[in-house]
Chain A
Amino acid sequence: MTSFLSDPVVQGYLEASMRLAMPIMLAALGGILAERAGVLNIALDGTMLAGSFVGFVITYLTGNLWLGVIAGMLAGALVGAVLALYAVLIGSNQVVVGVAINLLIVGATSFLYRTIFGVGTAQPRVTSFAPLELTALSDIPLIGPLLFHQAPIVYLGLALVPIVWIAMTRTSFGWQVAAVGEHPEAAETLGISVMRTRFICLLISGLLAGLGGAFLSLSATGIFIDNMTAGRGYIALAILVLGRRHPLGVFVAAILFGAADALQLRGQNLDIGLPYQAFLMFPYILTILVLILFAGKARNPAALGIPFHRDRPK
């Protein structure tokens, strides 16, 4: 058993699973916060893409990976702010706004990429994050390569899971978020500003999704391509359902998808007889399956998706 687990192929697979899970997990963590506050964040995909793009550009221009990461997070926060403007301040249909923002960012990143790099044949690259080995720990079978042989962002992401959980359940801010998402009118009478709370949640949501996006372009690949997220932001929404909007659940669900993604990459090289497109389809079909099995059982925050307006006479 242990020899199987220390097989380099298996180790590589586990390590890849975690690496591929991270972007989706971070976006989903952001999504948890937004949805708990009662806002549907459909713009996760676009936010990630913005994070990917800005992170890549800043790293390319400054040569500093961490600056790129921070820039990507800030870009994500900016998107979150725009979404908040529409969803919270104006009270527009949250789905329409989310989809429109996604389309806008696809076009904007494509346009700005060409503006900055021109249309040449050489693909601009950056040196991506090197894995940070915690040597002693990374030798533990199974968990070792999964958890301890990863790029630093992964450690950051892992740390965020318990942090988000504690923030949600133990802090007064976390309860305020729950209040705003369940019964915004009640929250208002208690002096909690629904708008301010939702705004903050969307900003944090943007920060996290931007981080996930930055991870995409700055780890492993080191390049940026049009529509790099390939629907991952939407898969993150499905992960929210599977993980029941709980940080730990979302973490496990993301690993599942990471594993599927890693399988798809490796499966293309294996000679199983299935066309490589079948493997490419796999994460998307898995998402549909997850929804089939789990969507009906989800319990949503009572005020999810409903814009909140003050001072409306009954």
Chain B
Amino acid sequence: MTVLDTTTKNTAAAYSAFRPLLQGILPSTAAFLLALAAGAILIVFWGGNPVTAYAALADGAFGSWNSIAETLLRSIPLTFTGLAVAIAFRGGAFNVGAEGQLYIGGTAAAVVALWLPALPSYLLLPLMIAAAMGAGALWAGLAGMLKLRFGASELITTIMLTYVAIYLVSYLLRGPLQEAAGYLPQTDRLPSGARFASLITSTRLHMGFLVTLATVALTQFLLWRTVWGYRLRVTGINARAAMAAGMAVGGLSMSAFLTSGALAGLAGVMEVVGVQHRMIENLSPGFGYTGIIVALLGQTSPFGVLIAALLFAGLQVGATTMEAAAGVPATLTVIIQALVVLFLIGRPAIGQIARALRRS
């Protein structure tokens, strides 16, 4: 064989190995770019200049080391909620209540810290994380139990439970858990043990980011290398076939809910420990809901979720700069995020429109 043959063969092999990845990345990227374009149109409608607006956005997202740190910081809760929704989806469940589970998780972690203020970091943090995961799992598990036992659609119950969670937390923060000073609906500042070490000094980025990366890798491993992950995926694709093949579908479905809730709870503790240093009433500006979009954009695959989370984190962080510099309301990012999903799932439309045009 000549060198040319070998090269061609290797290229072909490399292409076929990467093709699924490309097939996954390409539509997501296209959808993202289209959504940005739509956003530009909206900026014009609002009366602004898309170029300056997006320039400010980009600057805010990664124009400086601090910006990058902020973006990475914002990607932490988005990755966790994205993983939460993705895992639930893989198991055949729609967890749209990650927001509520996040709140419950964050509150549980804060309670642990306030209860054991003297503990050093290396003991307190794992306890807090465990509490957050457990509480989040419990809250999602509630919806899972309602589905398994009563056939109640988790789509509705997780949203209802989110409202219940938010009101419950509101009560706690204005009552039993309120700060000693008694003004704001928040807890006291958490003890010094409840701190992540800084990852990039002079920024807010903390070690929690490494935990995030580790969780992404762990989730990937669990889904694709373990028996549990295999069975979970099968259940999500065809629960009846899974059952007929002898899998404990009820338990697997429940484990999907529990894992999902635990991940959402982790998002909560990350915000409480890493950003707010206390539990507050408005801990999350909709991370749980953005997580749904992150999961979809990331094609419900852990590394995809990470990349999608980074993209949206950049959008959200940059948007505050955009609003400050160009005046465009930051809620534009919510629109862009939702449009990304709609363009992504609208892909087949292009083929269908083409076919319809061909027919006429």
Contacts and interface: CB of A to CB of B under 8 A. Distances in A.
Give yes or no for direct A-B contact (beta carbon below 8 Å). yes
Interface of A: 42, 85-86, 89-93, 95-97, 99-101, 103-104, 106-108, 110-111, 114-115, 119, 230-231, 234-235, 237-238, 241, 275, 277-278, 280-281, 284-285, 287-288, 291-293, 295-296, 298
Interface string B330-349: 01111101110110011011
Contact of B348 (A90, A115, A241): A90
B191 to A, nearest CB: 27
Nearest to A91: B348
Contacts of B45: 115
A111 B349 contact: no
B140 to A, nearest CB: 14
B335 A291 contact: no
B170 A277 contact: yes
B256 to A, nearest CB: 16
Interface string B130-170: 00000000000000001000111101110111011001101
A95 B345 CA distance: 12
B94 A100 contact: no
Interface in B70-122: 94, 96
B160 A42 contact: no
The binding surface of chain A is classed by DSSP as: helix
B146 A292 contact: yes
Interface string B13-44: 00000000000000000000000000000100
B42 A111 contact: yes
B335 A111 contact: yes
- Dominant SS at the B interface? helix
Interface of B: 42, 45-47, 94, 96, 146, 150-153, 155-157, 159-161, 163-164, 167-168, 170-171, 175, 289, 292-293, 296, 329, 331-335, 337-339, 341-342, 345-346, 348-349, 352
B293 A103 contact: yes
Given A231-B159, A234-B156, 6 more contacts: A85-B349, A104-B338, A107-B332, A235-B160, A280-B163, A296-B151
22 contacts: A86-B345, A89-B352, A95-B94, A96-B345, A104-B338, A107-B335, A110-B331, A111-B42, A111-B331, A114-B329, A231-B160, A234-B155, A234-B159, A235-B156, A237-B156, A280-B163, A280-B167, A281-B163, A284-B160, A285-B164, A291-B150, A295-B151
B153 A295 contact: yes
Contacts of B164: 281, 284-285
Contacts of A280: 163, 167
A288 B296 CA distance: 27
Contacts of A110: 329, 331, 334
Given A115-B45, A275-B175, A95 B293 contact: no
Given A86-B346, A104-B338, A285-B160, A114 B331 contact: yes
Given A96-B296, A231-B163, A288-B161, A106 B334 contact: yes
Contact of A107 (B46, B146, B163, B338): B338
